[in-house]
Amino acid sequence: MTAPDLRPLIVGSGIAGLYVALRGREAGLAPTIVTKSRLDESNTRYAQGGIAAALGPDDSPARHLADTTAAGDGLVDPAAARILTDEAPRRIADLVRFGVPFDTADGQISLGREAAHSRARIVHAGGDATGFHIEETLRARVLEAGIDIRERTVLARLTPLPDGALVATLAQDGGGTEEVRAAPVVLATGGAGGLYRHSSNPAIATGDGFAVAFRAGALLADMEFIQFHPTAFARPGAPRYLITEALRGEGAKLVNAAGERFLPSGAGRGELAPRDVLCRAIRRELDRSGADHVYLDATGIPRDRLDARFPTISRFLATYGLDLSRDPVPVAPAAHYTIGGVATDLEGRTSLPGLLAVGEVASTGVHGANRLASNSLLEGLVFGERAVRQLRRSSPGGPLPPPVVLDLPSPPGEGEDRREARLAEVQELLWADAGILRSAGGLAAADRRFAELAREAEPPEGTLPGPGANAVVAGRLIVRAALAREESRGAHYRVDFPRPRATWRHALGLRRSPMPSRGERRARRA
């Protein structure tokens, strides 16, 4: 088969999408970036903590690997995690070369400490504005490089062709649909945190990439592992703004309304215990007290340290009349990160020829059942670099061919109000039944409701799925996987199976069942 004359299409503009586009450009390719909102709007932009890399004199990739493996609770893919931790320092050097202004002291990159890391190894920028600086820097380089960008455009459908190429159906905000043949397509669409009622993610993180890949027949894995962050701002009417773990790394303490510490001694490392341990401890304290938040008390940290290290959080809290150095901050858990996703090999290849997946939308196996803090931006970089190698193998240069414009009607009745109502229902269902504490009863009830929603939301033949339908597909994948995994491991906690089980020490794949043939359908009806 001759290589088709096609160009890479990158879907998403967080760290993974922008980095792949830039490195692809440096390799002589001419990628197009398609992004759901503005080029600079993504989960990356809101990342506070930073990126983990073994850069300190007392550290090594082997230690970083050991911490990553321990956090992943028996499910980390050793080969993937070795690559992640070995290649981390080189990828940080790439970001420095692109101009990301990491914080330094005495000419060396400053390293912070976060939960479940045995060493200080978190590089950060602007104190707690790491994601903002990365996003802004990479965006500036992408614009300078003249990379083709299509904002406010979503990938609505992927259709595999027999020659290994994919037809990507793109839908612009406000109408207009086009189809492009592209090989490869790089999914870098981020996670599904926005499908939960309480989430640290921006509203756009609604799991579209999972839904599109699933519909196209790609294999997904480990969707039950949703990581909750223990400390998001919790004030009625305010966003669940992330209050970074790095504050606990500096010594901030969790207390209840009476100012008492409540973490059980079993939490091991206290405030630096893994996130799932802290989330369950907070959830139990809230159930006990009837309150809807606990407090993060950073008043023991010197004010000049707080100002230097956490300027963004300090500014945010000031708008609510709070001062980190004087006031304990109301916090509660929020959905934060989708650990599972579209299953890939070590080069970003999915089970669907021509489709690569990178970053939060991908499941490389590096996080196992629970992601170590600040390994997520890193995953986008490390596996993004590997995906670029694949792009080089399969793509010639030049811009995308002109689009074939189609006129596909939106699903009937899929107005803005209905979409929002459907999303709100998905958010309530997931928060209630596929949240921090899960059970067979709750998950089975949610699954039944998702089946009804899926019947309602799935587009009729010849129309495109809307965002409400994607939310239903992605939410249902999470519920299905959580119901199937009858154990507790990492970020997945089942009150009816409160311990890990040896028989479940494996990944859980999800794939759409093939459409039955007409003959099979007839036989089933008979």
Q: Least distance from C-beta 326 to ligand SIN, angstroms?
A: 22
Which residue stretch of 240-248, 422-430, 485-493, 513-521 sits at the interface with ligand SIN (rule: CB under 6 A)? 240-248
Contacts of residue 177, defined as CB under 8 A and 6 or more positions apart, other chains included, come to 156, 169, 170, 171, 405, 406, 407, 408, 464
Q: Which is nearer to ligand SIN, 129 or 168 (CB)?
A: 129
Q: Which is nearer to ligand SIN, 68 or 376 (CB)?
A: 376
Q: Which is nearer to ligand SIN, 246 or 277 (CB)?
A: 246
Give the H/E segment covering residue 35. Answer: none
Number of residues lying near ligand SIN (CB under 6 A):
10
Contacts 24+ apart (CB under 8 A), 259-263: 259/295, 259/297, 259/328, 262/294
Q: Which is nearer to ligand SIN, 39 or 122 (CB)?
A: 122
Give the gyration radius of the chain's Cα atoms: 22
- Please give the positions annotated as active site: 275
Q: Is 260 helix (H, G, I), strand (E, B) or coil?
A: coil
Q: What angle do CA 494, 76, 232 make, to 5 degrees?
A: 55
Contact 357, 348 (CB under 8 A): yes
Contact 240, 498 (CB under 8 A): no
Which residue stretch of 33-41, 211-219, 369-377, 518-526 sits at the interface with ligand SIN (rule: CB under 6 A)? 369-377
The string over 418-453, giving b where at least 16 C-beta atoms fall within 10 Å of a residue's C-beta and e elsewhere, is ebeebbebbbebbbebbbbbbbeebbeebbebbeeb
Q: Least distance from C-beta 247 to ligand SIN, angstroms?
A: 8
Q: Which is nearer to ligand SIN, 8 or 131 (CB)?
A: 131
Q: Least distance from C-beta 240 to ligand SIN, angstroms?
A: 13
CB nearest ligand SIN: which residue?
Answer: 49
Q: Which is nearer to ligand SIN, 183 or 373 (CB)?
A: 373
Rounded Cα distance, 355 and 373, in Å: 28
Report phi then psi at 506, rounded to 5: -160, 160
Which residue stretch of 54-62, 181-189, 242-250, 354-362 sits at the interface with ligand SIN (rule: CB under 6 A)? 242-250
Query: How many CA atoms within 13 Å lie on the side-chain side of 442?
Result: 17
Q: E-strand spans in 54-212?
A: 104-105, 108-109, 111-112, 122-123, 148-150, 153-160, 166-172, 177-182, 185-187
Contacts of residue 27, defined as CB under 8 A and 6 or more positions apart, other chains included, come to 388, 391, 392
Out of 374, 394, 395, 470, point to the residue binding ligand SIN (CB under 6 A).
374
Q: Which is nearer to ligand SIN, 149 or 204 (CB)?
A: 204
Q: Least distance from C-beta 47 to ligand SIN, angstroms?
A: 6
> Is position 49 an interface residue for ligand SIN (rule: CB under 6 A)?
yes
Strand partners, 155: 170
Q: What is the DSSP letter of 137?
A: H
Rounded Cα distance, 450 and 478, in Å: 11
Which residue stretch of 27-35, 368-376, 449-457, 516-524 sits at the interface with ligand SIN (rule: CB under 6 A)? 368-376
Binders of ligand SIN among residues 308 to 337 (CB under 6 A) are 336
Rounded Cα distance, 483 and 474, in Å: 14
> Is position 376 an interface residue for ligand SIN (rule: CB under 6 A)?
yes
> Is position 15 an interface residue for ligand SIN (rule: CB under 6 A)?
no
> Is position 43 an interface residue for ligand SIN (rule: CB under 6 A)?
no
Q: Which is nearer to ligand SIN, 221 or 373 (CB)?
A: 373
Q: Least distance from C-beta 92 to ligand SIN, angstroms?
A: 15
Q: What angle do CA 383, 98, 243 make, to 5 degrees?
A: 70
Displacement of CA 423 from its chain's centroid (Å): 18
> Is position 373 an interface residue for ligand SIN (rule: CB under 6 A)?
yes
Q: Least distance from C-beta 371 to ligand SIN, angstroms?
A: 7
Q: Least distance from C-beta 82 to ligand SIN, angstroms?
A: 20
Q: Least distance from C-beta 49 to ligand SIN, angstroms?
A: 3
Which residue stretch of 103-111, 206-214, 239-247, 299-307 sits at the interface with ligand SIN (rule: CB under 6 A)? 239-247
Rounded Cα distance, 65 and 44, in Å: 23
Q: Which residues bind ligand SIN (CB under 6 A)?
A: 48-49, 242, 244-246, 336, 373-374, 376
